Amino acid sequence: GKFLGRFWCVCDDQLVVQCAGRELTQFPADLPLATRQLIISNNRIGELPALQLNYLSDLVYLDCSNNSLAEISESTFGNLHKLAYLDLSFNALLQIDERTFGPLGSLVMLRLTDNPGLREIHADAFAENAALQVLDVSRNNLSAFNVSGLIGLPALRSVGLSGNPWKCDCDTEDLCLWHVGQNRGQTVCQSPAELTGRRLAELGMQLRADCHQGLGYWDYLFFVAIGFVIFSAAASTIDSRRVPSQSEFTHKISYLPPCHYRHQVRLVVSEQDPIEMSLNKTTGIIHKVGLG
């Protein structure tokens, strides 16, 4: 192996660069472009510079745990298409935005634990990580988590959620239902008070019943009927206020005696060209009969 720069990072023949515990405050410079593994854990690094990091396009393993990172973005990892392991635990991250990990198409394991200020993870933060198998967001400050972006990940087999102050209400209903088929550990609610200590995995069906009660078949039918009445009334009002132009034909409708379920209707477009129509009362369809 050899030492890199004044910070005494060690690089071995397998292109593993070891910079852990070197009291670094900045990302190490002059790293070999062919670096495969980079370990910069247990330092005081506050930023991952996108320009320097993305030169390392062969990187497959990146450990940034136990630093002072407060922000990451899509551009941070823009060229790391081979990266399979990423550890961002024990940092100062506040939120994870949409597509933050989008460029990481080969990512298999992502650790985002122990960021005490991490309150929000965008629903589509992991939507493009089709290879992701293990995701750990334990021991952060999450009270809700939209799992819609995880449902479509074909390789995902483990998600760590424990140690967060989960608020078990209608906003976390889907999380609780989804959690039943995932990690069966002791992930519990912190609020509301009546659900404190209850496991997420056992609350899914209860929340579904509580959050969707009161609307049955007849309720929805009533709303449809009311909507139809309002629409019909509005259409009639508009039609009654319409002023016909002089160029329009005058339509004269004369009804003949009813016969079974049909009414014979004579629609006179002009006196020289009468057209007889047949109105089916059951279907509401008008058929042209014609006059001999």
pLDDT digits (tens, 9 = 90+) for 229-283: 555 655 555 555 554 444 443 343 333 344 343 344 343 344 444 444 444 444 4
Lowest-confidence segment of 26-35, 127-136, 140-149, 281-290 by average pLDDT? 281-290
Question: Cα 162 to the chain's mean position, in Å?
Answer: 21
| Segments of the chain assigned E as strands | 2-4, 9-11, 16-18, 37-39, 61-63, 85-87, 95-96, 109-111, 120-121, 134-136, 158-160, 166-167, 189-191, 252-255, 262-268, 274-280, 286-288
- More confident call, 193 vs 24: 24
Task: Determine the pLDDT at residue 236.
Answer: 58
Q: State the average pLDDT for the chain.
A: 77
Could you report the per-residue pLDDT of 190-240, keeping only the tens digit for each?
Answer: 788 877 877 777 776 676 666 766 555 544 554 465 555 555 655 555 555
Task: Determine the pLDDT at residue 171.
Answer: 73
Residue 130: pLDDT band by 50, 70, 90 thresholds?
Answer: very high
Q: Is the peptide bond before 103 cis (omega within 30 degrees of 0)?
A: no
Lowest-confidence segment of 50-54, 168-172, 235-239 by average pLDDT? 235-239
Task: Determine the pLDDT at residue 238.
Answer: 53
Lowest-confidence segment of 62-76, 95-109, 224-238, 275-289 by average pLDDT? 275-289
Count helices and strands (H / E) in the chain. Answer: 5, 17
Q: Give the CATH architecture of domain 1-164.
A: Alpha-Beta Horseshoe (3.80)
Task: Determine the pLDDT at residue 8.
Answer: 76
Distance CA 225, CA 283 (A): 19
Q: How far is CA 91 from CA 10, 41, 109, in A?
A: 23, 10, 17
- More confident call, 123 vs 273: 123
Task: Determine the pLDDT at residue 273.
Answer: 47
Distance CA 166, CA 119 (A): 11
Distance CA 2, CA 7 (A): 12
- More confident call, 13 vs 137: 137
Q: State mean pLDDT over 46-55.
A: 95
Lowest-confidence segment of 107-121, 136-150, 212-226, 239-253 by average pLDDT? 239-253
Residue 51: pLDDT band by 50, 70, 90 thresholds?
Answer: very high
